Structures are given as structure tokens and as C-alpha cells.
A and B are shown apart, each in its own frame.
Chain A
Amino acid sequence: MMDGIDDSPDLLAEDNIKSRSDTVDLTDTSLLVDISDALSERDKVKFTVHTKTTLLQRFKQAEFSVVRQHEEFIWLHDRYVENSEYAGIIIPPAPPKPDFEASREKLQRLGDGEGTMTREEFAKMKQELEAEYLATFKKTVAMHEVFLQRLAAHPLLKTDVNFEVFLEFDSDLSVRGKNKKEKIGGFFKTITKTADEALLAQQKDVDEFFESEKQFLVEYHNKIKDATAKADKMTRAHKCVADTYIQISSSLVQLATIENTELDKIFTKVAEALEKARKLEGRVATDEDLKLSDTLRYYMRDSAAGKDLLYRRSRSLADYENANKALEKARTKNKDVQQAEKVQQQCCEKFDKISDTAKKELSEFKTRRIAYFKKNLVEVTELELKHATAQIQLLKNCIAALKKDS
């Protein structure tokens, strides 16, 4: 009975391996990256990034490790985004910041309420919270890992110099968090970008493929964002239900101790059953979170990255069109024609390059998305079935035991 209810860490580790193989092409093993260890300190997490490579012309050693923090991952992501070379590529979404706020708050509240509950109850709740904390921890490790692995597997992105530095440079990258000025600057940049996006969204694309892609991605992103939020709420509610079982179970145990009738056996048995049922319900909530919510969340980010790609393309198209206009103007004025021509040529090339890679990237995106959804939907269903069967068995046994006693 307890076998199915083993600790979540192992299950998560399993998932990591599986998800890796799906989002990342493992046939090219020239550069293998993983996060071999992680340490959670006060308010930051230190990841040990471990690399194994055969590309000795680029890297000094065949195998090495460095310690990185979340900000350095963001730095790396920004470098990719700002590089116009990769304008036509869907840049893998940056991993979310490790957030233990919720867990820490809960732990704090538990500590405050220690006086109101029995020792067993307190121990159980603490255990549950610690498991939650561990799960969140594992998830953030996985997110960071997947990010690196997608980079390492992409034929173009893996060649980036910054990537090399990230993987190899021994000491701190001195990537301080954005100071106030940079934050404000970043804020304005986002605003102009959004305004631009809106403007460019109006831009009717001659190319049907891109037009439909754009429309699809914009709507898809909205809907999936909504679905992610709702899924999160659902799994959280489920977790609440599972946790309430703890209180009921411990109340029953206490009732049993003061009972003088045969009810004490009944209460003890039911308390046991509820305890096991709680673990199962907790697993259901965690699995739903992992398979369903996280899938939605990941593709929310990926579709955002796809949107960014389209935005970049639109931008370059706008630039191209502007260059054309400028060229015409130059031609009529017969001034700086060569210059204008060169600019126009560049824009044209850039645009074509982006369009080509974008097409490929977007189809890959689609295939990837479908495969990932399928895998996770199947897995979540199978897990739900597994847990429900276990619960039925558990309840059946309990009921039989209760009826037998009568």
C-alpha cells in the first residue's frame, strides 16, 4: 500500500528525464548539460551546472561544473534575445524565478499555530509542508535545466559565445540584478515593445502562413494563460482538501483515545484510512500540478516566445518596408542612393533569413507542443486512474474491516 505512496522526489526525477527527451533532441550528444546539484540558501538558489562535451575546440575541458544563480540564467536569456542573429528563432523561455514565498509563509503560519494542535498533527503538517517545499524546489531545478538543455540542443543557439561563458566561466559572472535605472529603462522598453506589437499586429501580412500563425499564437497565448491560472487554482484547492484530511484524522485519533465503547476501534481504523487517503489525494494534486498545470504553463511561455519571434519578424518587415520607402525617396532625390540601397539590401536579407528560420521554428514548435501535450495528458490520466484505484482498495479494506467487527 505504501509503495504507491512513496516520496515525490523520485517521481519528479523520473519526469525530468522523460521531459528532457521530448523537448530536446538527444541524438546530438556533443554538448550535454544538466543541473547536478542545487542548494537552497536564505533567499537564493545555487545551481550546479554540469557540462559534458566533445567540442574541445570550444571548451577547455571535456567535463566541468560551475555554480550559477537565477539572475545569471536571466542574463543568458537576455543575451540571446538581444542578438539579432537569433531573431528568427524561438528563444527558449527563461526559467521562472524560484519562489518559495508561499511555502515559507505556510511554514511560518504552521509554526505560529503550533500550540493549537497535537504533536502528531503538527509533525504531519510539517512533513507535508516540507514535501511541498521539496517539490517546489525540484520544479525550479527542472525548469532551469530544461532551459539549458534546449539551448544546448539547438544547432544554432548552442554555438553562442555567451553560452560558453555561462557554462565554463569559473567564477561569478557579476551579473548584478538590474539597478533602478535599468529597471525603469527595461520598463519603458516593454511599453514601447507592447505599443509596437499592437501597431504591428494591425500589419496585414501578405504571407498567409505567417498571418495565420500570428493570429493563432496571439489568441492561443491568451487562452493558455487563462487555462494555466485556472489549473493552478484547481490544484491548489485540491491540495487544501487533502490537507484537511490531516486534521480530521488526528481528531478521530483523539476521539478514539477517550472512547470507551467499540467506537474507538472504528475511529482508529477510519483515522488510518483517512491518513492514507490524504497521501493519495495529495499525490493527485501534485500530479495534476506537474502534468497538467506545468504543461500549460510551459507552453504559455513558449507561445510567448513564439509571439516574440513573430514580433521580431514583423519589426524587420517594417524595417524592410521603411528601407524600401527610403530607397525610393533617395532615388527620386537622387541622394545617398547607394547607401539606401545597401540598407535596403540588408533589411531584405535579414527579413528573408528570419522568415525562413521562423517557418521552420514554428512548425517545430507545433510538433513539439502536440507531442508534449499528448504525453502529459496520457500520463496525468494514467496517474489519476492509479491513485483512484489505490483509494478504492484502501477504502474497501477499511469498510470491510469495520463491517466485520459488527
Chain B
Amino acid sequence: MADGTVPPPFEEEDQQKDDDDLFADSKEVPDQSNGQSNAEPSTNVDLNAESELEKDDDIFGGQGSEVALDSEEEVEEKKTVPSAPVAAAVATAPPAQPIIEAPNLLQAEKPLINVSQSSTSSSKGSSAAKNSHDEIEVEEEQDEYTIDIRVTDPHKVGDGMSAYIAYKVLTRTTIPAFRKAELMVVRRFSDFLGLHDRLAEKHVHLGVVVPAAPEKSVLGMTKVKMSKEESGSAEFIEKRRSALERYLCRTAQHPILKNDQDFREFLEKDELPRATSTSALSGAGMLRLFHKVGDAMEKITFKMDESDEWFEDKQIQVEALDTQLRKLHTSVEILAMHRKDLSQSTAVFAKSAAMLGNIEEHTGLSRALSQLAETEEKIEQLHKDQSDQDFFTMAELIKEYISLIASVKGVFHERVKSYKTWKEAEITLAKKRENKTKLELQHKTDKIQQAQQEIAEWAGKVETGQSDFNKISENVRKEVARFEKHRVVDFKNHVIQYLEALMDNQQKLIKYWEAFLPEAKAIV
């Protein structure tokens, strides 16, 4: 039972708590853990409650009851921190703040704020500080949490045609919704595709730009399945691994997607149900194909009456960007290929020069030729590295953006669909109204009531249609702005990285040639 040392708000809440059975449970919690906290007495209860929360592993289960706590108490429990000073600040804060949030908001926040076992104290501390500033901004708190994902250790599992590559997915995060701060799971490619499909299902129709998953590759996978050792398709595997890593990181950057439950489960659940619906030949695959075709037809037949210039301009821009990026991508791939050729022919030349040096009778020249061969060998490695740079820094980035743009275009299309639904509802409503008037003229009173009902129904649909449309338009605007922002940052960083790599290579080139020069001059 809360002591007399408990600050007033608690007492207020006591009354409210009485109404709810659940409150009783939570009350017991502070009682039980009374002796465990080593914070100041004034915050004893809060801390105890907090530490109780901390001990509870199951975020959603055991603490379900505590959610129903009155918002203030929840807030206090949230905000209290093992470190005493902060807790003190918090304890004094609540009385001043009528931070009563709607329970459902709490539900939403709970996943964020609820405890994870380790090192979240700093974030909590800052969130506590924030609290004392009279605000709980969900957005800001989310930005403070970091999440870092790596995809490593591709290894072949199984044999023959049923073989596949499994990857380790390592996550380091401070987001409290996750069970632990460091997670490790093993996933295969179809799992990634399954994740993407679920995210797309949930979010695309709301106007969210969901990052595209890496593409399937029949050729690549067949090579993997066929080759005895893993080195046979090492390049393909490496490309895929880095693409998967980038995919997860990009998804994790998105404010909405990173808190998605499916995403979280993907990162932390040990066993995921096999995503069989991602296979092209499955039933779901066929369905997807049908939908795609249907969509394509829709796009051709329905012409939206665009009232907002912004959308029209953006769409044109996105199309142009798409074309240009594709062109650029081809050129960069060609560059990487040519550089690889250069690397190979340099290697061949180096060997030939070495042989020439061996046979040259003049010792000085012979030595110089051998040195030349060695220099060219080093340069060959240089060219190969640069070619890899060409590919991984630039070509892959551009490819990612091309698929992102496809997602953006998809989102535009969703908006058009939403508009269509709305307008169709309006048409139907008008028809129903006409129908009613007709019935009234014909004095078919029995049918009139039904007609009335239908009108009401459709009027409702029109309203929802419009609000949905506005919502999705709003979302699309936000998403596109976000896309643009990230695009600028991404491209800029990658371009600088690429140029710096180029510069690095030139410097190495200088080093090699400078080492060779005295040899050449020493020929007597």
C-alpha cells in the first residue's frame, strides 16, 4: 500500500484505481518491491514499481495489467530511473503535471518506453528530463534511440537443390521495445522477402514508402546450390549479404517501420515461420502476379483529376529521376566491368614482363623489368579494389534508389487508388439519392427506408473515402519529403566516399611508381 510518503498525485489516483481491478494488482507491486529499491524514500514506490517492471522480461504479457494504471502513475513509473537524482526530479515533477494521456496512447507508448534490461538508463534519463519540460513527444524519443544492424556470416545450409544460404543478423539497439540490447538471429533470404511483404501489406496503402527487398536471382542461387564449396559463388553471396544489410538498415531508419512489430520479431525472434508465400511458384506468388497485372491495367485506365499541383510536379520529377538513375547505373556497372578487365590484363602483362626480365641478358635491365612486373602486379590489385569500389559504393546505391523510387511510385499510385475509391463512393451516393427520389415519386414507401439506409451508408463511405484520401496525401507528402532528404544525404556521402577512394588509389599508385623510378634510372 502506498505510504504516506507518497506524493499527493498517488492519492488522487488511488480513488481512480479503485474503479479498476487492474489497479489493485499494480498496487501490490509497489508493496512487494518495497525493500528492493535503494533510492530516496520519496521515490521509493516509484522505483520499486520501476524495478519490478525492469525485472519483467515479457514486455507485453506480464505488464499488461500495469498499462491500465492511471496515466500519471504510469508516467511516473516510466520516468523514474534507477539513478536517484533523476528520480528525485521526476518525483517532484508529476504533481505539477497533469500528464494524463489517453490509455491507448499509453498502449502505443508502452512498447517504446517499457523496460529492457540493460543500458537504457541514459535514454530514460533524457526522457525523464524531457518530461520535466512538460512534454512527451513520441517522435523525439524515438530519434534518440539508436539501432545498428549487421548481416554477417553467410553460410550454406543443406545440400543439393534444397540448399540455401543462412545469414546471421546482429542487432545493437537502445530501443526499449526490444527484448535485449544485443540480438542475434539466423535468417535466410526468403525470411527477408517475407518481412518485406508483411510490411508492404500493412503500410503501403497508408502511403508509407516501404524499402524494397533485394531481388531474387535464380542464376545466382543455382550457382550456390550447385557449387561444392562456398567460394564458387563468393561474389554473389557477398553482393547479396551487403544488399540485405542495407535493406535492414534502411527499414530501421524509417520512423514508422522501425517500430513495426513484424520488423522487431524479425530481428529478435529465434524461429520465424517459413515464408513460403514468397516463392514465385506458390499460390501467393500467383496471386501477387494477378494483382500486379490488375494494378497495371488500372493505372492505364483511370485518370485522376489532380487538383494538387505538388503531386503532379513530384510525379514528373520522380519519373525523370528514375530514367536518369537507370542510365547512370548502367554506366557505372560498365565502368566497374572495364576496370576489372584492366586489372586482369595488367596481371597478365606483369607475368609477361617478368618472363622478359628473366631472359634479358643485361643484368640492370633485367632487374628493372622484374621490378616493373612487381609494380604492375601491385597496380593490378589496385585496379581490382577500385572496381569493387565502383560497384559497391556507387552502383549498388543507385540500384537501391531505383527500387526505392519504384516504392515511391507505388505510393503515389495508392493515393490515386484511394482517390478513385472516394470518387466512386460519391458516384454511388449520388445514384442512391437518385434512386430514393425515384422511389419517392413512385410512392414505394417500403423501399424508401432501405434507400435511406443505403444513402446514409454511402454518405459515410464518402466521408471516410475523403478523409482517407487526405490522410494518404498527407502521408505521401511527408514520405516524399523524407525520401528527398535522405536521398540528398545518401548520395552526397557516397559520392564523397567514392571520390576519396579514387584519390586514395591514385596516392597508392604514386607510391608504387616512385618505388620503381630509381630502379629504372639505375640501369647502366
Which A residues are closer than 8 A to B by beta carbons?
216, 219-220, 223-224, 226-227, 230-231, 233-234, 236-238, 240-241, 244-245, 247-248, 251-252, 254-255, 258, 260-263, 266, 270, 273, 277, 366, 369-370, 373-374, 377-378, 381-382, 384-385, 388-389, 391-392, 395-396, 398-399, 402-403, 406
Provide 25 A-B residue pairs closer than 8 Å at the C-beta atoms, listed in order of the A residue: A224-B356, A226-B355, A227-B352, A227-B353, A237-B342, A241-B338, A244-B331, A251-B331, A252-B328, A260-B317, A263-B491, A273-B499, A366-B362, A369-B365, A370-B362, A374-B368, A378-B517, A388-B510, A388-B513, A389-B510, A391-B503, A392-B503, A392-B507, A396-B503, A399-B503
Nearest Cβ on chain B to A125's Cβ, whole angstroms: 13
Is there contact, CB below 8 Å, between A233 and B348?
yes
Of B342, B348, B507, B520, which is within 8 A of A241 by CB?
Answer: B342
CA distance A266 to B488 in the complex (A): 10
Closest 5 CB pairs of A and B: A237-B342, A377-B520, A230-B349, A374-B523, A251-B328
Which chain A residue lies CB-closest to B514?
A385
Q: Determine whether the beta carbon of B523 is less than 8 Å from that of A373.
A: yes
Q: For B342, list chain A residues within 8 Å (CB).
A: 234, 237-238, 240-241
Question: What distance in Å separates the Cβ of B482 from its nearest Cβ neighbour in chain A?
Answer: 13
* B287-327 interface bits toward A, Cβ cutoff 8 Å, 1 = contact, 0 = none: 00000000000000000000000000000010011001101
Complex contact A234–B499 (CB within 8 A): no
| Total A-B contacts with CB atoms under 8 angstroms apart | 155
The interface on chain B, measured as residues whose beta carbon lies within 8 A of the other chain's beta carbons, has a size of 55
Closest to A240 in B: B338
Distance between Cα atoms of A60 and B348 in the complex (Å):
54
| Among candidates A224, A381, A399, residue contacting B499 with C-beta atoms closer than 8 Å | A399
B506 touches A392 (CB 8 A): yes
With A237-B342, A388-B509: A270-B499 Cβ-Cβ less than 8 Å: yes
Known A273-B499, A395-B506; 13 more pairs at CB < 8 Å: A216-B359, A220-B359, A223-B359, A230-B348, A230-B353, A233-B348, A234-B348, A241-B338, A373-B523, A388-B506, A391-B502, A395-B502, A402-B495
B335 touches A241 (CB 8 A): yes
Give the chain B neighbours of A241 by CB distance below 8 A. Answer: 335, 338-339, 342
Q: Are A266 and B491 in contact (CB under 8 A)?
A: yes
**Cβ of A258 and Cβ of B321 under 8 Å apart?**
yes
Report chain A residues within 8 Å CB of B325. 255
- B window 505-524: CB within 8 A of A: 506-507, 509-510, 513-514, 516-517, 520-521, 523
For B351, B368, B499, the residue with the greatest tally of chain A CB atoms inside 10 Å of its CB is B499
Query: Which residues of B are found within 8 Å of A366, using beta-carbon distances?
Result: 361-362
* Shortest CB distance A61–B (Å): 43
Q: Is the CB of A381 within 8 A of B520?
A: yes
Distance between Cα atoms of A241 and B345 in the complex (Å): 13
- Who on chain B is nearest to A238 by CB? B342
CA distance A233 to B321 in the complex (A): 37
A227-B356 contact, Cβ under 8 Å, with A370-B523, A385-B514, A399-B500: yes
Chain A residues lying within 8 Å of B335, measured Cβ to Cβ, are 241, 244-245, 248
Set of chain B residues within 8 Å of A263, measured between Cβ atoms? 487-488, 491-492
**B495 to chain A: closest residue by CB:** A270
Report whether over half of chain A's contact residues are helix, strand or loop; otherwise say mixed. helix
A262→B368 CA distance, assembly (Å): 50
Contact yes or no, A220 B360, CB < 8 A = yes
Determine the distance from Cα of A236 to Cα of B517 in the docked complex, in whole angstroms.
24
Q: Is B454 an interface residue (CB 8 A)?
A: no
Closest to B373 in A: A227
A234 contacts which chain B residues (CB < 8 A)? 342, 345-346, 348-349
* Given A237-B341, A384-B509, A402 contacting B349 (CB threshold 8 A): no
Residues in A neighbouring B372, C-beta threshold 8 A: 377
Q: How far is the CA of A338 from the CA of B341 in the complex (A)?
A: 68
CA distance A115 to B514 in the complex (A): 45
Bound CA span A382–B365, Å: 17
Contact of A223 among B352, B496, B517 (CB under 8 A): B352
**Least Cβ–Cβ distance between A380 and chain B, in angstroms:** 8
Chain B residue at smallest Cβ distance from A220: B359
Chain B residues contacting A237 (CB-CB under 8 Å) are: 338, 341-342, 345-346
B499, A382: Cβ atoms closer than 8 Å: no
CB-defined contacts of A223 to chain B, threshold 8 Å: 352, 355-356, 359
List residues of chain B with CB within 8 A of the CB of A395.
499-500, 502-503, 506
- List the B residue with the shortest CB-CB distance to A227: B352
Chain B neighbourhood of A252, CB < 8 A: 328
Residues on A with beta carbons closer than 8 Å to the beta carbon of B365: 369-370, 373-374
In whole angstroms, what is the CA distance A233 to B349 when docked?
8
Instruction: Please report the C-alpha to C-alpha distance between residue A255 and residue B355 in the assembled complex, in whole angstroms.
Output: 48
Asked whether B359 lies within 8 Å of A240 as measured between CB atoms, the reply is: no
Among residues of B, the one whose C-beta sits closest to the C-beta of A212 is B361
Bitwise, B415-432 to A at CB < 8 A (1) or not (0) is: 000000000000000000
CA of A15 to CA of B349, assembled, Å: 24
Give the distance in Å from the alpha carbon of A227 to the alpha carbon of B351 in the complex.
Answer: 9
Contact A226 B495 (CB under 8 A): no
Q: How far is the CA of A377 from the CA of B499 in the complex (A)?
A: 29
Q: Is the CB of B499 within 8 A of A392?
A: no
Q: What is the CB-to-nearest-CB distance from B299 to chain A, in angstroms, rounded to a whole number?
A: 22
Cβ distance A377 to chain B, nearest Cβ, rounded Å: 4
| Contact A227 B349, beta carbon cutoff 8 Å | yes
Flag whether B332 is at the interface (Cβ < 8 A). Answer: yes
Tell me the minimal C-beta distance from B36 to chain A in angstroms. 50
| Cα-based distance from A81 to B283 in the complex (angstroms) | 81
Indicate whether B410 reaches chain A with its CB closer than 8 angstroms.
Answer: no
Q: Are A261 and B338 in contact (CB under 8 A)?
A: no
By a CB distance below 8 angstroms, the chain A residues around B492 are 263, 266, 402, 406
For B324, give its contact among A216, A258, A381, A406 (CB under 8 Å): A258
B510 to chain A, nearest CB (A): 5
Q: How far is the CB of A385 from chain B (nearest CB, A)?
A: 5
Residues from chain B with a CB closer than 8 A to the CB of A388 are 506-507, 509-510, 513
For A277, the chain B residues whose CB sits under 8 A away are 502
Which of A220, A233, A248, A398 is close to B328, meaning CB atoms less than 8 Å apart?
A: A248
Distance between B124 CB and nearest chain A CB, rounded to angstroms: 33
Complex CA–CA separation, A256 to B345 (angstroms): 35
What's the Cα separation between A392 and B351 when bound, in Å? Answer: 29
A392 to B346 alpha-carbon distance, docked (Å): 22
Residue on B with the closest CB to A273?
A: B499
**Docked complex Cα distance between A392 and B507 (Å):** 7
> CA of A240 to CA of B345 in the docked complex: distance in angstroms?
12
Q: Does B7 contact A (CB under 8 A)?
A: no
Question: How far apart are the CA atoms of A230 and B342 in the complex, in Å?
Answer: 11
Q: CB-CB contacts of B354-381 with A at 8 A, as 1s and 0s?
A: 0110011110110011001000000000
B334, CB-defined interface residue at 8 Å: yes
Residues of B within 8 A of A261 (CB): 484, 487-488
What is the CA–CA distance of A388 and B512 in the complex, to the nearest angstrom?
11
Could you tell me if B331 and A248 are in contact, using CB atoms closer than 8 angstroms? yes
Residues of B within 8 A of A273 (CB): 499
Instruction: Kindly state the separation between the CA atoms of A230 and B368 in the bound complex, as whole angstroms.
Output: 18
B341 to A, closest residue via Cβ: A237
How far is it, in angstroms, between the C-alpha of A263 and the C-alpha of B507 when the chains are bound? 27
Chain B hits for A396, CB < 8 A:
503
The residue of chain B having its C-beta at the shortest distance from the C-beta of A259 within the complex is B321
With the chains together, A254 CA to B332 CA distance in Å? 15
Which positions 149-202 of chain B face chain A at CB distance < 8 Å? none
Q: Is the CB of A247 within 8 A of B331?
A: yes
Within the assembled complex, what's the spacing in Å between the Cα atoms of A91 and B506?
43
B349, A381: Cβ atoms under 8 Å?
no
- Give chain A nearest CB distance to B340 CB in angstroms: 9
- Among A219, A247, A255, contact of B334 (Cβ-Cβ < 8 Å): A247
Pair B506/A391 contact, Cβ less than 8 Å: yes
Instruction: Name the CB-closest residue of A to B376.
Output: A234
Cα distance, A258 to B318, chains bound together (Å): 10
Instruction: Knowing A248-B335, A252-B328, A266-B495, say if A216 contacts B513 (CB, 8 Å).
Output: no
Residues of B within 8 A of A244 (CB): 331, 334-335, 338
Could you tell me if B345 and A230 are in contact, using CB atoms closer than 8 angstroms?
Answer: yes
> B79 → chain A, closest Cβ, in Å?
37
